[in-house]
Amino acid sequence: LILIWMSLSPPGSVLLQQTDGDRQTPLDLVSALSQREELLRSAQAGDSARTNKDKTEVLNLPLLEAGSSLLAHLIFSYQKERGLPGLTQSGNRPHTLVYKLAAALEKHSLQKVTSDWTDQRAVRLAEDVETLLRLSRGEHKEQVSAAAKECRGENTVFLMEALENLQANGKALVADFW
């Protein structure tokens, strides 16, 4: 789910400011002038997308539809493969691990909750619960452009519905333990 969260945010020039272990930026690593110019154009396009996120015009519908399809399928594949155990089971919900994690993450940071954990599956589960809690608060909505929200393309609508379902699941999770 973290990958989905990051994919909703246009990168822009902030990526060109990242450095590697030798403190080199991506532009430092590209020697061909044409490739450097292409990187700069891509960064400017990302910056422009960030500043124009309130505009409702879709500039490249096939790209938006393809990206939406990939993200929506990634969400559903991840849920099917990994899921959140105990979230959909009826019965003693507030006593399942997912609900206990959610309660802990509402009170403490992910870092504090998982600081002594060595089982990476448990850490990933906690990360997923935290992401679901963030979705329940609607934190993802500011990452999605108005153009994507208003687009009526089949795949984009499917993605928006998937995000709404995740938000509803997060709200249900919070409601069950409070």
Of the listed ranges 12-21, 101-110, 158-167, the one predicted with least confidence:
12-21
Q: Quote the pTM value.
A: 0.62
Q: Which of 6-10, 44-48, 137-141 has the highest mean pLDDT?
A: 137-141
The pLDDT > 90 percentage for the chain reads: 24
Q: In this predicted model, what pLDDT tens digit does every residue of 78-96 receive, in sequence order?
A: 888 877 655 655 555 556 7
Q: In this predicted model, what pLDDT tens digit does every residue of 56-65 receive, in sequence order?
A: 678 788 999 9
Domain ranges of the chain: 1-51, 60-177
Separation CA 117–CA 101 (nearest Å): 13
Burial class (CB within 10 angstroms; exposed 0-12, middle 13-18, buried 19+) of 123: middle
- Looking at the predicted structure, is the pLDDT value of residue 178 above 80? no
Of the listed ranges 8-17, 37-46, 117-126, the one predicted with least confidence:
8-17
Average pLDDT, the chain: 80
The set of residues, in sequence order, having a beta carbon less than 8 Å from that of 8 and lying 6+ positions away, is: 71, 140, 143, 144
| Packing angle of the helix pair 120-136, 154-177 (nearest 10 deg) | 100
Please check whether residue 75 is in contact with residue 4, taking contact to mean a CB–CB distance below 8 angstroms: yes
